[in-house]
Structure 1
Amino acid sequence: MTDTAQETSSERGLARVAQSLAAWTEKWFPDAYVFALAGVVLVAVAALANGSSPHAVVDAFGDGFWDLTAFTLQMAMVVLTGYVVATSPPVARLIDRLATVPRTASSAVSVVAFLSMSVSFLNWGLSLVFGGLLARAIARRTDLRVDYRALGAAAFMGLGAVWALGMSSSAAQLQATATSLPPALLKITGVLDFGDTIFTWQSLLMCAIITALTVAIAHFSAPRGSAIKTAEELDVDIDDQPAEVAPRSRPGEWLEYSRILPVLAALMTLGWLVSQLVTKPVLTVVSSLNGYLLVFLMLGLVLHGTPRKFLQAVNLAVPATAGILVQFPLYAAMAAILTEAEGNGGLTISEHLAEFFTNIGGGGSFAVVIALYTVVLGVFVPSGGGKWLVEAPYVMQAATDVQMNLGWTVQIYNVAEALPNLVNPFFMLPLLAVLKLRARDLVGFTFLQFMFHLPVVLLLVWLLGMTFDYVPPVIPTP
């Protein structure tokens, strides 16, 4: 076969489809913050159209703007702790070892996809950086020619496929933490720990199926032959040099360069964790968002060894939290307008939407409609936790009305919420900084995943939803 024929052949099939989709999203999608601002305006206009007074709308906006302050910080910490752990020396050495495992270009892409999704079950922020660094490590191999764009897209699969089915799921963490739930939502759902959501066998099975599907698509869509574009051909520098730590220059810095305090802090954290596990149910402990963040933060401190190295990693991680910090207050304001600004007949937009979803009825039709609604809304509101607070009041009220299992309703949201990440490149930003690529280099591959994932997800939420019984919410006493 001639070189030209080989190139034509290698560009056919899934790889060619993926590459043909690459530029559209980056060209037409504005920054996610613009979507959040537009969302507030749209919800406010909708409330006015519903008969709410301007006074009620602006009061709801201002009063609700800071309702998610605690949760905003918690979600920023998910990103920060994941980044810090992923960039620690022990994890870097692990990544270098894992990079030597694949033997072919397609298997290299598959391995990155599988490992990024596996790590994402623990922490999606960790997955983004871990996957990106693994992709770079494989790209540095001189004995294997792999498409760098496909590696980068595979590194994003942790967030683009299964992140919300894992332990750092914003919606599941929120529903398991009474102090983070807005009072209006707490009265509808009560507290749902991980045993009701991510650790149900149905959710774990769904996660396994989607993982297998994603790996298969990544494998068969990886460019081959002369269609491969390496990091060098894309003019990307992939030489990772560890950041140098300035030497100690004065006596007062001694503790900054010592492992004593990190070890003592870690021992205190370990003691607290043991105490929690002895005195409380295991699922209650692992469902605690604050506890989860404490463990990951101390893990990052220990893995970096000294306070100075740890703080250096934190400084690098902080920019990745910017989107969360400025967007979540807008989502809180949207939720407040939806649930507090009463219109004609004394009904809020949230109550009208709950009535609409209730009229759909229960069973598979409810699950499919909620999933589709979540996908569409997620394209324009790229935030799992923030969007859940906008969506949850009326979705969970409707689920209660039609007697749909509330824990499964959270998981319907979670599995569907990941899909828009394959289209809207907002959450790619931290990964793109690691890879030194543009969104359009990856979106063609991720959009291809979306085309396969959507029908599979709709089928799964319909079929698996039939295995649940309705359990009335348990509302905690004040």
Structure 2
Amino acid sequence: MKLLNKAVRPFVIFVERYYPDPFIFAIALTFIVVALALLLTPSGPVDVLGAWGGGLQNLLAFMAQIAITLITAHALAHTDLVRRLLVRLCSLPKTAYQAYLFTCLIGHGASLFSWGLGLIVGALVAQGVGMVAKQRGIKVHYPLLVASAYAGWVVWHMGYSGSAPLFVATPGHALEGILGGTIPVTETMFASWNLLTVLAMVIVIPLTCALMHPRDHGVRLVEIPDSAAPVPADPPDPEPRTTGQMLDRHKLFNLGIGAMLVGYLVFWFATEGFSLTLNIVNWSFLALGLLLARSAEHYVRLVANASQTVGQVLLQYPFYAGIMGVMITTGLAGVIAEWFEAFATRDTLPFWAFLSGGLINMFIPSGGGQWVVQGPIFLEAAQQLGTDPARIVMGVAYGDQWTNMIQPFWTIPLLAIAGLHMREIMGYCFMVFFAAGLVLGGALLIMGG
């Protein structure tokens, strides 16, 4: 316990002193990728600039999907029923170690259901557990508690909203020609080997978080008034005074449109089987949020309150799209992937896909985006070596979620709620990065190809 607490200190100090703001991080990565493209590919300055500028708008449709995911997840998490559930959950931990374990486990559960919900619920639970602990006189280190919530996110690509598994399961996807069709989610996220890896992660990662608990003199309590509710309630609706206000606050409209969405989802699964896409995941959360909201007006208010979680994400995503444009157009992504592919055998190719996915995720923090970059190269290698393509999909997915622990981009929506800066939690995330790397990389080597 003391050893792990001592081991994390250099990383906490390093991040506090040297890690830039996420936006600066994105700009710095842009310059690094431009330099690498000029050094490692035949492209000249004009070619690289054209690739970067042409790539800026390439993820606009995906950005809209990501924004809807975050907004609908945030709105769902703030509905009255879910909020009451979160308040009850936040009162369960009775010690500091239980607080870290519990927060990380809730983050795991929410992330396996939806990556967006994992970030939002994780932040709310960390804030609520921290407030309850402070009221009870339990010394819980709030930055580590928030880091535990973010650590819960490290399994998101293995669950219901995993981008790469959903991508290859969607008819008409861009790599259908290479694969000769689709890969159903029963062979990726719901495969027995993936579920066993999930089990290993939800044991190792929460324990890692708990064992980083600092000594009492290093504890920083949550900085929110003791009298505040663990998860603040949305203000009650005022009494309507006009017919228009009565219509705004009547449940018929949100229940009706929510029921239509549920009807469509039933129709989808009845006709398509258990086929998940990012859009279907988004419509699921939209339907749940509408059904649980007090009224259509209330749901609009919940969505408006979610804007804080998407602003910086939408600002930075075009720059990462530009990075992706450079990596694809100049062939830089292929050069990097081929470094790893050169060492691969039939059984080790998923592991090298994992390492390659982790590296490229630092430059393209988008599960779907980086799959488009790496998928063709590793799937063609899988065909040549006879490796199961489903394991390649999950290898890249594991790499993506792994280095998210040290790539600050996706901390933005979580920290917007938790009220901390990225530098206050990222040092602890480095230890999660090491622990997750051992579990995920080990699982891929054991399962082979």
TM-score normalised per structure 2: 0.87
Partner of 2:405: 422
Match of 1:154 in 2: 148
Q: Percent of aligned positions with the same letter in both sequences?
A: 26
Partner of 1:91: 82
Q: Contact 2:259–2:287 at 8 Å: present in 1 too?
A: no
**Alpha-carbon distance in structure 2 between the residues aligned to 1:117 and 1:209:** 12
Residue type of the alignment partner of 2:146: G
> Aligned partner of 2:444: which letter?
V
Choose the corresponding residue for 1:76, options 38, 52, 67. Answer: 67
Q: Is it true that 1:213 corresponds to 2:204 in the alignment?
A: yes
Match of 1:452 in 2: 435
Contact 1:29 1:424 in 2 (8 A): no
Q: 1:197 to 1:373 in 2, by over 3 A?
A: same
Task: Give the counterpart letter for 1:196 in structure 2.
Answer: E
Q: Matched residues in 2 for 1:138 and 1:354: separation? A: 42
Q: 2:295 aligns with which of 306, 323, 327?
A: 306
**Does the Cα contact within 8 Å between 1:355 and 1:398 map onto a contact in 2?**
no
SS in 1 for 2:290: helix
Q: List alignment gaps of at least 5 residues for structure 1.
A: 1-9, 342-347, 469-478
Distance 1:30 1:249 in 2: 51
How many angstroms apart in 1 are the aligned matches of 2:143 and 2:323?
36
Matched with 2:161 is: 168
Q: How does 1:11-50 map to 2 (within 5 A)?
A: 12-37=2-27, 39=29, 43=33, 50=41
Q: Greater shift after overlay, 258-267 or 64-73? A: 64-73
Give the counterpart letter for 1:273 in structure 2.
L
Assess, with a 3 A threshold, how the Cα gap between structure 1 residues 396 and 45 changes in structure 2: closer, same or farther: farther
The question of 1:400 aligning with 2:383 is answered yes
Corresponding residue number in structure 1 for 2:130: 139
Query: How far apart, in 2, do the equivalents of 1:57 and 1:21 lie?
Result: 34
The AA in structure 1 aligned to 2:301 is Q
Q: Residue 152 of structure 1 aligns to a residue in which SS?
A: helix
What is the Cα deviation at residue 354 of structure 1? 5.6
Question: Conserved in 2, the CA contact under 8 Å of 1:165 and 1:415?
Answer: yes
Q: Which secondary structure does the structure 1 equivalent of 2:365 belong to?
A: coil
- Secondary structure of the 2:310 match is helix
1:105 maps to 96
Displacement, 1:198? 0.8
Question: Contact 1:116–1:127 at 8 Å: present in 2 too?
Answer: yes
Residue in structure 2 matched with residue 119 of structure 1 by the alignment? 110
| Amino acid across the alignment from 1:125 | G
Matches within 5 A, 1:247-262: 247=238, 248=240, 250-262=242-254
> Do 2:119 and 2:414's aligned partners in 1 also have CA atoms closer than 8 Å?
yes
1:21 alignment partner, SS class: helix
Q: Residue 103 of structure 1 contacts residue 144 of structure 1 at CA under 8 Å; is this kept in 2?
A: no
CA contact (8 A) 2:350 2:391 kept: no
Per-residue displacement from partner, 1:359-382 (whole Å, max 9, x unpaired)?
A: 323234433333223223333443
- CA 1:195–1:329 in 2, change beyond 3 Å: closer, same or farther? farther
- Cα drift, residue 384 of structure 1: 2.6
Contact 1:112–1:135, Cα closer than 8 Å, also in 2 = yes
Measure, in 2, the Cα distance between the counterparts of 1:398 and 1:325: 34
Specify which of 260, 266, 271 is matched with residue 258 of structure 2. 266
How far apart, in 1, do the equivalents of 2:30 and 2:126 lie? 38
Say if 1:328 and 1:386, in contact at 8 Å, map to a contact too. no
SS in 1 for 2:8: helix
Aligned partner of 1:25: which letter?
V
Q: Secondary structure at the match of 1:437?
A: coil
Aligned length: 440
Work out whether residues 374 and 413 of structure 1, in 8 Å CA contact, stay in contact via their aligned partners in 2: yes
CA shift at 1:38, angstroms?
5.1
CA separation in 2, counterparts of 1:236 and 1:441? 17
Change (3 A) 1:143 1:236: closer
Report Cα offsets for 1:230-261 as digits up to 9, x if no partner. Answer: 22xxx444624434366345432332211111
Shift of residue 82 of structure 1? 1.2
On the 8 A contact 1:331/1:387 being kept in 2, the answer is: no
Q: 1:288 matched to which residue of 2?
A: 277
Equivalent-residue separation in structure 2 for 1:37 and 1:441 (angstroms): 21
8 Å contact from structure 2 (residues 341, 352) kept in 1: no
Cα distance in 2 for residues equivalent to 1:52 and 1:230: 52
Aligned equivalents of 1:227, 1:355: Cα separation in 2: 45
Taking the TM superposition and a 5 Å limit, the aligned residue runs for 1:325-404 are: 325-340=314-329, 348-349=331-332, 352=335, 355-404=338-387
Cα offsets for 1:330-377 (capped at 9, x unmatched):
444444554455xxxxxx445555654443232344333332232233
Give, in angstroms, the shift of residue 37 of structure 1.
Answer: 4.8
Single out whichever of 453-462 and 197-206 deviates more from structure 2. Answer: 453-462
The one-letter code matched in structure 1 to 2:14 is W
Pair 425,361 (structure 1): closer, same or farther in 2 beyond 3 Å: closer
The equivalent of 1:187 in structure 2 is: 177
Instruction: Decide whether aligned partners of structure 1 residues 177 and 249 sit closer, same or farther in structure 2, where only a CA change above 3 A counts.
Output: farther
Q: CA RMSD in A?
A: 2.8
Tell me, yes or no, if the aligned pair for 1:124 and 1:158 is still in contact at 8 Å: no
Answer with 163-172 or 382-391: which moved more: 382-391
Partner Cα separation in structure 1 for residue 364 and residue 268 of structure 2:
36
Name the SS for the 1:229 alignment partner.
coil
Unaligned stretches of 5+ residues in structure 2 = none
Cα deviation for residue 264 of structure 1 reads: 0.6
| Contact 2:100–2:209 under 8 Å retained in 1 | yes
